[in-house]
Structure 1
Amino acid sequence: MELIKWVLYSLVIFLVLVNGSFALYTPPESYLIACGSSQNITFQGHTYIPDSQHSSFVLKTGNSVVASSNSSSNAPFPFYQSARVFTEKASYRFEIRKEGRHWVRLYFSPLPKSSHDLTSASLTVVTDDFVLLSNFSFKKHKGSFMFKEYAINVTSDILVMTFIPSNGSVAFVNAIEVVSMPNELFADQALAVDPIAPFSGLSELAFETVYRVNMGGPLITAQNDTLGRTWVNDLKYLHMNSSVFNVSVNPSTIKYPEGVTPETAPNLVYATADTMGDANVNDQNFNITWVFPVDPNFSYFVRVHLCDIMSKSLNTLVFNLYINSDTALVSFDLSSITNDLSVAYFKDFVSNVSADSSTLTVSVGPDSMADLTNATMNGLEIMKISNALKSLDGLSSVDILLPSSSSKKNIVGIIVGSVVGALAAVALVGLCCCCLVGRKSKSSPQQGGHSWLPLPLYGNSLTLTKMSTTSQKSGTASCISLASSNLGRFFSFQEILDASNKFDEKLLLGVGGFGRVYKGTLEDGTNVAVKRGNPRSEQGLAEFRTEIEMLSKLRHRHLVSLIGYCDERSEMILVYEYMANGPLRSHLYGSDLPPLSWKQRLEICIGSARGLHYLHTGASQSIIHRDVKTTNILLDENFVAKVADFGLSKAGPALDQTHVSTAVKGSFGYLDPEYFRRQQLTEKSDVYSFGVVLMEVLCTRPALNPVLPREQVNIAEWAMSWQKKGMLEQIMDKNLVGKVNPASLKKFGETAEKCLAEYGVDRPSMGDVLWNLEYALQLQETSSALMEPEDNSTNHITGIQLTPLEHFDNSVSMIEGGNSCTDEDPEDVATSAVFSQLVNPRGR
């Protein structure tokens, strides 16, 4: 049967080629170069010209040799039999007639009989703006050939590609392709996940193709793709081979709507698919999952190709799409968008892969709200996105690798710089005059030069006190008035660079939606966490503003303290106290850290609940965190839990209101379903999210795991089903088995169950949650003979008291050196050593 299937596929491909169903795209530029070859090489209908004979580009090198071998006759490409070997820095210069995105394809194979040891060669390849390869060696490569494909936006009439030998070695290349692509192939925007939000600026970034997969279909070579791409079968990436059923139709039946063309993907991709229907599994409620090994600490562009080729009528295919543990599409009805069947469609996403992960998963599964158990996917493209250093490999930038570059853009820069310098000199004279006048009148405020809006001081104020403070160290003005507020210490950008060792990647603690977080050390030896935002992101600006506004007013032992900030050079940088033991999640799963004891877990949950209880009741107006999850609960060196990341926080409802109407934000898996449906936010939304955290702490698994069977994907639904059976111990962390007092577990489960109630009115307050968790801890520590009282959150147990809410009214006075406290725990009275940075800030 398999043989017959592949024969049919081959026949289909042949018919498509014969009928000429592909409208071939003719690229304005198409450089196909056989490096080191002495003659033209024809392969798959294309002719590769030797780099020594090509007239449309310049090979500039001080010293290079040609290597050739006949022993690579079994190589997949004939141009792998020759190579250009560089013993010093060399470059190719390509004339570009039409600016825009271009494919850059590089072919490498270390020839065995070369005069140099090419297997040990250290390859570094850069363009004008991007690092493509950095110190790559075949010694660590699992194959004898390597093909790299990049998508680079060329914005000038010259593209320079430089090869740099390093470590006393040589560099080499066998073949190069530089081919233009349609401008509309990649848009500037996509949809970011975790959390769901628009992502713009893709045109300024470079891509590296990591995977291009044809679901349910055969290998598609460059001959069968209008843009010369290769699509591989998905079988080896499937998490469960038996979980899919392949479907296919005649490619000629595929319809391309406006905005989708054969250049998007050939109809051979849309004509085959993986589906759930008739899969060889007992339970049909599951997800189809593909797992792809990737490099951590990078963002990835994910393009999903969809086409309903199996339905008999419209609106009969509704499913969800997941990328990693994030929900990318919910209740997605493909035919409601295409208004027809067999219509090609694609959707673009951007997803981050953190430092503690080396895989990217993509899943489709049935929608639990629809009575339809099917899902499908036709094709998938995964591309690595260049990082902040404009690199696709390693941590070096072009400026470091080519410090003395004499490219055309630098010449233009010198000319422009000279003109700007002359104008600046004239402007400086005028500025000095203005400053003198302003100094005399004392009425002209300084303004900081920022590419993003100035920050309001408090709450929802839209005004800015026109009074700047200058860093004593840097002399640079801040746009925030520090003299009249308690926003923390202002750091100059140079101080941030010194503290983080110039953002040394070895000090990287994590990567989030706002930016990257580094460990830093201040001059006095204090360890801090430096959170560097992305100035281009409007979402990042909003989080930056909110974080400063919120944390400047909040001080509590169980809230991560903001030490200060930096807003120089269009940077958005926040400096927090350093939490030595990192996020709670890393102590539950996904790392090799020792498991937490049940007592430790209860104490961490209690500390987190105290922090949230203070947010809800301790300030003049309640604050809703809106993103409570295990990655936002951090642990210090003593495993004291502190709630972090207030970028999505929102002021709670006024006394005469029941909720705050706002757009849904947060993390899927933790979102309050009532808030998601009605877009009405209350403190009980945090309570629901905290209930998910409680189950995550008990079961040590993610809130959402698309790889699992459908009934287990959502931890809240799965754990609640066991809680209602009274069998929560069946799904608890195996490291806790036999070590948890049954009464303590029962109280913990009941507390989580109340938090996860469908409607907010049925959920307890964080004060009640705190009381019940403290009781669960007391039950764990006392004799098992202790009788559990009635299930009433207002019961009082000897030795356990909640702080009266009125005690929280003046808690912010801690900043001014007052003695008020926010918790009856004696440890909460003491101000952390980190507050010395706030009481007597330097650099003001």
Structure 2
Amino acid sequence: MVKMKLVKCVHLLLVVVLFGSMVLESSASFVPVDNYLIACGSSQNVEFLRQIYAPDSGHSSVSLKSQGNSIVASSNSSTVPSPLYQSARIFPATSSYKFDIKREGRHWVRLYFYPLPDPGHDLTSASLTVITENFVLLNNFTFQNYNGSYLFKEYAINVTSDNLILTFIPSNDSVAFVNAIEVVSVPDELVPDQALALTPFAPFSGLSGYALETVYRLNMGGPLLTAQNDTLGRTWENDKKYLHVNSSAVNVSVSPANIKYKGAVTPDIAPNWIYATAETMGDANVPNMMFNITWVLPVEPNFTYFVRVHFCDIVSSSLNSLVFNLYINSDIALQSVDLSTLTSDLDVPYYKDFVSNSSAADSDTLTVSVGPDTKADITGAIMNGLEIMKISNEARSLDGLLPVETLLPVSPSRKNKIGIIVGSVAAALAALTFIYFCYCCLVSRRSKTAQQGQGHTWLPLPLYGNSQTMTKMSTMSQKSGTASCISLASSNFGRFFTFQEIMDATNKFDESSLLGVGGFGRVYKGTLEDGTDVAVKRGNPRSEQGLAEFRTEIEMLSKLRHRHLVSLIGYCDERSEMILVYEFMANGPLRSHLYGTDLPPLSWKQRLEICIGAARGLHYLHTGAAQSIIHRDVKTTNILLDENFVAKVADFGLSKTGPSLDQTHVSTAVKGSFGYLDPEYFRRQQLTEKSDVYSFGVVLMEVLCTRPALNPVLPREQVNIAEWAMTWQKKGMLDQIMDPNLVGKVNPSSLKKFGETAEKCLADHGVDRPSMGDVLWNLEYALQLEETSSALMEPEDNSTNHIPGIPLTPFDNSISMVDGVTSGTDEDAEDAATSAVFSQLVNPRGR
């Protein structure tokens, strides 16, 4: 009997030790730098889920500012959901909490609301609006339209300053209130900057510039997990109520101690309790066992959602015995998933991130499914966890379409200022309107006496063409006798083509002459009457985005002339058509000479000359006009090559006028191409010329490594070329990832200077990046090093790239960046007639 008791005690001790080790494993990985747990309106500390919440008054790092006197409400009633809801701070007027932030980055912002009974206010009908400096979190929320008794909201917000301000705004003659607030640091790796977008299937970059709201966090096949079981204080609920068919899934579980974390997956991504349970295929009562397990999740329409799926093969007894597909809505997100191949073992966690941008106005659900791969002979599927987070919209809101600025109340002094400004602007507009009217009358009178062959200035084009207006302003072509053109000699804006001339040039838009399709429409190769090959860009009337870019390109190209920028030949504006005509570029986009085609590889000297040409074009954009122009879409498909491989920058549809002399940046919505976007621009929505410099740095690495800027099929650390190449550059081993066709054919000093230049371009902060003039100077120096090496290299020595007898001293970085260098300024005065085409010529998917 004593022996049996002893065995039981030993077993119990082992269980306690095992449980303790699991708790330690799941709780000791991350310690938040900022960790504010605030019980609003409370006069003492409150314990909730083994955490201590401090009162909001008298806190050294949290300050409360209110336009009116706030009110404290409290209750000890047994109906209150938890101790955290027993007190509340009520705001009759706009009020805010300011939190001191010690470390910038993602933070949890968690808000707790429960309408306590208060004799002076009906909190059930209170209208809540909560905003930060940059995002709308809640807008006019009221418990009258809510089925629950209390409200818990969790947000992930990227804080980029030394404080975070949460503002509570009462509306509709009501009050605002809050019971508790959490502001807690989040590990940098928890929320990535990139994910895989669906419909269309492409990388999605720049998540750090958005706010996220937790909508669902599910523990598949497992129990409710609270902050006590999660290293980051998250709550995971059971998935059963979201299953489309309950019998289609069966719960499975193993001991959490079996879970083996490897690589980038840590308990901070999800606790081992999540990976130790799962849903697998059950009996869906259907004749075909190739069915899917589907979860149906109600969501708010017109928002994009961040979706993270968690997998861990805890059911297989051997490797490669479970192959399945993952579907999000109607899209196949992952095909032929073999977890043991991805993780090289069983019981190893794996997760994948997606952005589902298919939630439309008529869709209020998001579905996630797993099912057997029909190509495999194995029937089975598994899912361990699922997280869904709403992504802030274009108005930087997570609740509605009103931006932060419109929700802030206007003070009386501010109203007076606004009234003065509005009055002044109105008076100025009235004066300008009168002047413009007089000018139009004068122009109209002069046009009646003008000769028939006189040219006209380029007028702003309407959204769709106006054939009558433009045809009346056309002149008779001396060559054909039709209304065709204003000569290049008499106008800097190009020739006006009739639609019939465009039809003849493209053989009625013959599909065999199609060069590419973009967001604006289609691009065709055409031949004019004199035999000149041209590229014809035909706008799609149903593509508003394409037409907006179309108009921007006209406005930009009408002002720009440079040897290394594309030049416009003419346009057509008849029969509701909007068409641009460019000279044909014989060698197409730079990208087609780097990868994806059978074209012969470029030599190192050719690549340097192409990069120098593109840099000259961008340098002219930034400095050659009265006000700088930021291209905003620099990439290898927008660098075109003529018959002599002279590089020209193309596609100005996203271009933006740069900041004026008294500004440091232009505040604008983020636009560009995945993989090339300046991370600082994405975080702050502040555009500068240095944003082009960053994109050009990506181009430099693309030219050297001959691979796409983003390649989601590669291992995680290799997906982004900028990050991957920088790890090798910092080790001084850039030659290990360069194009194999260049190995043994590049002077090491030239490669070193090229790598240093790209590294400076790819600096995280714009202030640390060089100007395009500096980049140009360094690339020209790299070319000189290469040419000197080629000229002095002994013919019989083919085993090395060094210059025999002449050691090349690395150039001093302290003097390599020289301002005011005459880098390509002589090019600005060269002949403006250059070859041109579009970035989408060989890119059928366009931007």
TM-score relative to the length of structure 2: 0.49
Computing the radius of gyration from Cα coordinates, the structure with the larger value is: 2
